[in-house]
Amino acid sequence: MSNTANAKILQPIAGRKNLSRLHWAIRHCLKCPLHKSRIHAVPGQGPVNVDIMFIGEAPGKNEDLMGLPFVGRSGIFFNNLLLSTGIDRSQTYITSAVKCRPPANRNPSNDELRICKENWLDKQISLVDPKLIVLLGKIPLKQIFNRTDNLNNLHGRTLNQNGRTCFLTFHPAAAMRFPKIRKKMIQDFKRLTQDNFF
């Protein structure tokens, strides 16, 4: 077998090992005050070299208890959205803007968003190397693009950052609470598979 063929085989293995090391570091992170009230940090879940990477806002109560993303009620809704569009959750990478649950489910501060992005999220994006990044809600939009636009005006659109395409939609928790947002989010997810993003 040629050196080139060996390199192609070993590259995903190296990526998985590096991602596992990054997950370990996130679980032990003490870089911002959020670590003081967490039960578990929630690094993310999924393989490297995927078509889609989803970035949510922050872990909730169930995610904090289990250390996994989207496992509560909003996770059930999210899973149903994936199923309805034929997207296999196990073949996506899922994480959040911050890796620890903010106290009382408040929004993460600007410093918390910056620290998590600089230390963890940027590295996750590089290692996972997705074809498309889906931003779920206003928090990852603010973190990555420093924008606070109303998602009603931006959802279903794409923005580019550092050569990567980001698709904007709502957070599942908002879609569960508001029927109009739910309808819009369902339409957004249909676009993911219909518009040849990956």
Domain extents in the chain = 3-194
Which CATH number describes the domain made up of 3-194? 3.40.470.10
pLDDT at position 2 over 70 = no
Inform me whether the pLDDT recorded for 16 exceeds 90.
Answer: no
Which backbone phi and psi does 165 adopt, to 5 degrees? -95, 130
Q: Are 63 and 72 in contact (CB under 8 A)?
A: yes
pLDDT of residue 11: 52
The rounded mean pLDDT for the chain is 92
Mean pLDDT to the nearest integer, 68-89: 94
Q: For residue 119, what pLDDT is reported?
A: 97
In the predicted structure, residue 120 carries a pLDDT above the cut 50? yes
Average pLDDT over residues 62-76: 95
Whole-prediction pTM value? Answer: 0.91
Residue located via tokens 């940027």: 122
pLDDT of residue 59: 96
Measured N-to-C along each axis, helices 73-84 and 179-194 cross at an angle, to the nearest 10 degrees, of 40
Token pair in block for residue 4: 């080139």
